[in-house]
Amino acid sequence: MMKVKDIIDDLGLTVFSGKSGLERELTGGYVCDLLSDVMGNAQTGQTWITLQTHRNVMAIASLKDLAAIILVKDNKPEEDTLKQSEEEGIPILGTAEDTFTIAGKLFNLLKNQQ
Amino acid sequence: MKTYRADLHIHTVLSPCGDLDMSPGKIIKKAKQQNLDIIGITDHNSTKHCSVTQRLGKKNRILVMMGAEVTTREEVHCLAFFEDIEKLSQFQEFIDVHLPSIKNKVDYFGHQVVVDENERILEEEERLLLTALDVGIDEIERKVHDLGGIFIPAHINRPKYSLMSQLGIVPPGLKAEAMEISKHIGVSEFLKKHQEFKDFGFGLIRSSDAHYLEHIGEVFTGFEMNSASFAEIRLALAGREGRKTIAV
C-alpha cells in the first residue's frame, strides 16, 4: 500500500501542512470542487484533488477520513485551513499543475504500484 | 408593532438572466400590487439599479433594501445589503476590483443594462456579471460587515451555487444575519430535513429570487417590527427587542 509520503517526490508536490499525516495510507484519488459531492462520494483513504481552499475542505477531509488533499494551480490554503490540517494530521499538498494533469499522473502512479 | 411583507431577493434587467421587463419602475408597480412593503434589489455582482429603484420605492411607500447577490470564489451566492448610497458604492468598488474582466456574450447570457425610471438605457454593463469574484466567502462577509451591511447566504439548500452545495456544510463561525432558504421548500419541511438548523441561531428568510415580474412576491417573509427601516430589519433578523421574522 502506498503512503502519502510516497507520492510527494514523484509528483513534485509542495507540503503545506499536516506533516504528521505523511504516513497515512493512500487507497486512490477523488477529483471534485463541489464539497457537497465530495462529502457524499469520496472514500476513506483517497487523496482529494481540488482548487478549493476554504477551511470546510478540512472539515470534509476529516469527516471522510481522506489521506491527503492536493491543491492545484498554485492555490494556497487559507490560514484557518492550514491550522486545521495541522490539528487533524491530514496533509495539504500543492502543485502548479492543473487538475487534469496531476490527476493523470497520480492515476498512473497508483496503477503502476498494483 | 406591525408585520411587513418583504421579498428581499429580486433581480432586475441588469442581471443577464433577468427578464427585459424587470425595470425598476415595473418592479415597484408589481411589488405594490403584491402588497409588499419591503423589497430587496439583488442583481448578480452589481448594485447599479439600487438607487433608482429606491427613489421610485419611496414615492410608492415601499422600502427598497439596496444590495447585490454576490458570487464568492467558491461559487456560493450571498445577498448583501447596505444602509446608504455611500456604503453601497464602496461595496460596488470592491466588486469592481474583484470581478474578473470577462466580456458578456449577450446572445448566450442575455442583456445587462442599467435603465432610468423611464426605462431609458443609461449604460450597458460590458463585463459578465454571472461569474465569481476572486475572493472567498469569509473575506466577502468581512467586507460587508466592515461596511455595516447585512450578509445573508442565498437559497442555501439549492443543489447549486449555494452554501451547502459548494461548501458542504455551513462553515463553523460564519457570521451571517440570516440564511435564505429556497422558495421551493417551506420552513417546516426544511427544518425537518435539516435538523441541524433548528437551534442554529440564524434567522431563516424566504424570498422569490424573481427574474420575471410574475414571480415577485410569490414567496415572502414577514417582518414584525416598529417601522420599515434598515435598522429595524436588522433587529428583526436577529430576533431582538421584540422584533422577529415570520417565514412559513
Tell me the C-alpha distance between B229 and B236, whole Å: 11
Instruction: Tell me the ipTM for this assembly.
Output: 0.79
Lookup: cell for B184: 421551493
3-state SS assignment for residue B33? helix
For domain A2-113, give the fold. 3.40.1390
Give me the residue from A39, A54, A60 closest to B74, CB to CB. Answer: A54
Mark yes or no for CB contact B136/A54 under 8 Å: yes
Q: Going residue by residue through chain B (248 aa), what tens digit of pLDDT does each one get?
A: 999 999 999 999 999 999 999 999 999 999 999 999 999 999 999 999 999 999 999 999 999 999 999 999 999 999 999 999 999 999 999 999 999 999 998 888 899 999 999 999 999 999 999 999 999 999 999 999 999 999 999 999 998 999 999 999 899 889 999 999 999 999 999 999 988 888 777 789 999 999 999 999 999 999 999 999 999 999 999 999 999 999 88
Cα–Cα distance measured from residue B48 to residue A20, given in angstroms and rounded to the nearest whole number: 50
Domain B2-246 homologous superfamily, CATH: Metal-dependent hydrolases (3.20.20.140)
Extract the residue ranges of chain A whose pLDDT is less than 70. 114
> Closest Cα partner for B132 from B181, B168, B166?
B166
* Residue B4 CB burial class (10 angstroms; 0-12, 13-18, ≥19): buried
DSSP string of A80-113, one letter each residue: HHHHHHHHHT--EEE-SS-HHHHHHHHHHHHHHH
- Interface mutation target, options A30, A32, A33, A34, chain B, most CBs of B under 10 Å: A34
Domain positions in chain B are 2-246
CA B148, chain centre distance (Å): 16
Q: Where are the alpha helices (DSSP H) in chain B?
A: 24-33, 50-59, 85-98, 106-109, 137-146, 163-167, 187-193, 230-238
A6 vs chain B: nearest CA distance in angstroms? 29
Burial class (CB in 10 A: 0-12, 13-18, 19+), B24: buried
Residue A81, min C-alpha distance to chain B (Å): 11
Which residues make Cβ contacts (< 8 Å) with residue B20, sequence separation at least 6? B13, B111
What is the rounded distance in angstroms from the CA atom of residue A6 to the CA atom of residue A109? Answer: 10
End-to-end CA distance of chain B: 19
pLDDT at A5: 97
Q: Which amino acid, B245?
A: T
Of B159, B164, B168, which has the smallest distance from its Cβ to A38's Cβ? Answer: B168
Measure the CA angle with vertex B94, ends B93 and B96; round to 5°. Answer: 60
| CB-CB contact of B40 with B10 (8 Å) | yes
DSSP for residue B171: P
In one-letter notation, the amino acid at residue A2 is: M
